[in-house]
Amino acid sequence: MARITAERINNIVKNFTSSSVMVIGDCMVDEYMWGEVRRISPEAPVPVVDVEEVERKLGGAANVVQNLSKLNVKPVLISVCGNDGSGRLLREMIGNIDCQSDGLFESQERPTTIKTRIMARNQQVVRADREVTNGLSKNEYEALWELFLKNIDNVKGVIISDYGKGVISEPLISKIIETCISKNIFAAIDPKEKHFNLYKGVSIITPNLKEAHTMLGASQPRNCSDEEVQNLGWKLVETLELPYLLITLSERGMGLFQRDGRIYSHLPTTARKVFDVTGAGDTVISVFAAAIVSGATPFEAAFLANHAAGLTVAQLGTAYVTQEELIAVCAAALL
């Protein structure tokens, strides 16, 4: 394996600017209500949060798009929103990150997904989800497939962001994967356990350790050894016929599996502090895909994704990194 150099990393990241990646999946608005707890409710034994600030961020596939845009990769978004105020807000927020929102199909059949987190002194008190998770209707499916076909020849890679909210299901995902294979386009999936059987033949999936166990119908042991991680990963690679697999291992970092040569690489975590892992998977798959379509090897892409994730988990809520931040943190690691 060739040694990674700061010059090589710099060249890969600079190539992001000439790369384009399609993101298709479940978009949502992440809403945060920030406040203080000063008393317990007289109605029930629960804290009363005095809300002082409301913040709204891009979530799900929209956060993947945001991560790509902040890296100067040209993103193309294909998704669904509702004909509602949150859908209009979502379009506006996407426009604010220099991404076209014309791939966001406005559905008359489902609302825009909103996740509301009530926060007290940086601690999440409760989360409320407003969503419909049914599979796409015939009308929605046909609209997204048409948008996919319209844009697929203009991108170098595809990210399927599966949050289980209805966008990613049969037959859409099968046709997407088949098209990517036929056109030799890199396709990556941030997976949902219940859709395990839909991912066969994709370029890479990026589950966390719990998701990887659940996909194979196994319960995660309290202390999963490195040998158990490798056995689990190779079984996933073989079952889904994956060229690559990247399992995120929380405080232990990441494990990269490459089917050709049967190569396993462990990348230790680079996070110095962890405030919030929300959206960390979005950063991992965004950076990995951006790096691959910009000429990186799988190990180089995983190296970049690992360092990017180390930066984003140190921030509260969904977060992202810039080209400059990514180059700097990688250069420091290579000294």
Q: How far is residue 286's CA from residue 21's CA, in Å, rounded to a whole number?
A: 9
Q: How far is residue 247's CA from residue 43's CA, in Å, rounded to a whole number?
A: 44
Q: How far is residue 252's CA from residue 246's CA, in Å, rounded to a whole number?
A: 13
Residues 84-110 as b or e (16 or more Cβ within 10 Å = b): bebbebbbebbeebebebebbbebeeb
**Omega before residue 171 within 30° of 0, cis:** yes
Sign of CA dihedral 84, 86, 90, 93: positive
Amino acid residing at 333 = A
Which alpha helices (DSSP H) does 152-197 contain, by range?
Answer: 172-182
Q: How far is residue 58's CA from residue 158's CA, in Å, rounded to a whole number?
A: 19
Q: How far is residue 60's CA from residue 86's CA, in Å, rounded to a whole number?
A: 14
Q: Which of 26, 30, 162, 282 is catalytic?
A: 282
282 catalytic, yes or no? Answer: yes
Q: How far is residue 106's CA from residue 137's CA, in Å, rounded to a whole number?
A: 13
Q: Would you please indicate which residues are annotated as catalytic (active-site) residues?
A: 282
